[in-house]
Amino acid sequence: MSEAAFRALYERLSADTRLVSGPPGGSLRHLTPERVRAAAAEVRSGRTLSLAAPIETHRGPDSPEPADHRMTGPAAGDLDAPGLHFARDRLAMNVHQDADSHLDALCHVIVDGELFGGVSAHTLTPDGAGALSVDLVRNGIVGRGVLLDVPRLRGVPWLEPGDHVTREDLTAAEEAQGVRVGPGDLLFVRVGHRLRRLELGAWNVAEARAGLHPTAVRFLADREVAVLGGDGNNDTAPSAVDGIGFPVHVLAIHALGIYLLDYLQFEELAPACESAGRWSFLCAIAPLRLPGATGSPVNPIAVL
């Protein structure tokens, strides 16, 4: 895809967003209280499943900066000592690395000196994001989740790095699974990234990974999706656009104001949906309360 064609697509997608009045809340305007209430009706069995992968604490090809998790207590002498003592630990991490499940805030993507909604990039300071931070979703995101399983559609265990999910793939997966994505939905697209990593080992995903083709973002806009989550980065590598990295991030976050969730895991959810014959469910996403943050580690919970 040429840079000119990409920029034309960006302008088409962002045109309607610029007409929305009020504060720049992005695509969550589609997730109305009425749709949240309706999503509760998706619960059948009451089974809960995590859509997050374990936090990576070991250095690897896709985790050059792994999380630092260490015990700070109890002291060795406390283990057999009488009286009260506490186990304590500390966690430090790079929120946006390529192994851990995380949510991207609307301030995450800068294009031509601006954030989503024309907000100046100068609102980003060493002290944090002064606008569009993850604090906008401090009350969580709850709605109807829909899983579209593209490897299932194609009859393969996973998509190979560099492969693209097209708009046609998404509509074909809907038909094959008997589900339709609608306004306010939390759309999850499986490419099989986690299964491939489990069976073949980690690799340098910065250079090669499966994801959505930029033109597939038109599907998100047409269906008024509130959230997009993937078991990879959502973007393909190498980039499908000449001279522009992460085109799906640019289109989804910067043009449409869609919250992205990267590097989730669907290897428990997909067979559960297959067994139940249903690919929609109630989903709750609860980012950490990190004022001024550009994202957050996250553990979405599907309730079937």
Q: For each of the chain's 304 residues, which pLDDT tens digit applies? A: 899 999 999 999 988 776 554 445 689 999 999 999 999 999 999 999 999 999 999 999 999 999 999 999 999 889 899 999 999 999 999 999 999 999 999 999 999 999 999 999 999 999 999 999 999 999 999 999 999 999 999 999 999 999 999 999 999 999 999 999 999 999 999 999 999 999 999 999 999 999 999 999 999 999 999 999 999 999 999 999 988 999 999 999 999 999 999 999 999 999 999 999 999 999 999 999 999 999 999 999 999 9
Distance separating alpha carbons of residues 285 and 9, to the nearest angstrom: 29
Going by C-alpha positions, the residue among 170, 196, 207, 218 that lies closest to residue 265 is 196
DSSP state of 9: H
SS3 287: coil
Q: How many helices (H) and strands (E) does the chain have?
A: 8, 15
User: How far apart, in Å, are the Cα atoms of 294 and each of 50, 115, 204, 205, 269?
Assistant: 23, 12, 23, 21, 27
**pTM listed for this prediction:** 0.95
pLDDT one-digit tens code per residue, 11-28: 999 887 765 544 456 899
Token couple for 127: 């002290």
pLDDT one-digit tens code per residue, 180-200: 999 999 999 999 999 999 999
Token couple for 271: 């067979």
Distance separating alpha carbons of residues 131 and 295, to the nearest angstrom: 13
Question: Do residues 96 and 84 touch, judged by C-beta distance below 8 A?
Answer: no
Token couple for 293: 């943050």
User: How far apart, in Å, are the Cα atoms of 18 and each of 27, 31, 119?
Assistant: 12, 18, 12
Distance separating alpha carbons of residues 147 and 178, to the nearest angstrom: 11
Going by C-alpha positions, the residue among 259, 209, 204, 263 that lies closest to residue 235 is 209
Task: Please name the amino acid found at residue 176.
Answer: A
Token couple for 130: 């002064």
Q: For residue 99, what pLDDT is reported? A: 95
Q: For residue 17, what pLDDT is reported? A: 72
Question: Do residues 188 and 266 touch, judged by C-beta distance below 8 A?
Answer: yes
Distance separating alpha carbons of residues 106 and 258, to the nearest angstrom: 8
Q: For residue 229, what pLDDT is reported? A: 98
Distance separating alpha carbons of residues 256 and 95, to the nearest angstrom: 22
Token couple for 145: 């989740």
Residue length, the chain? Answer: 304
Q: For residue 22, what pLDDT is reported? A: 46
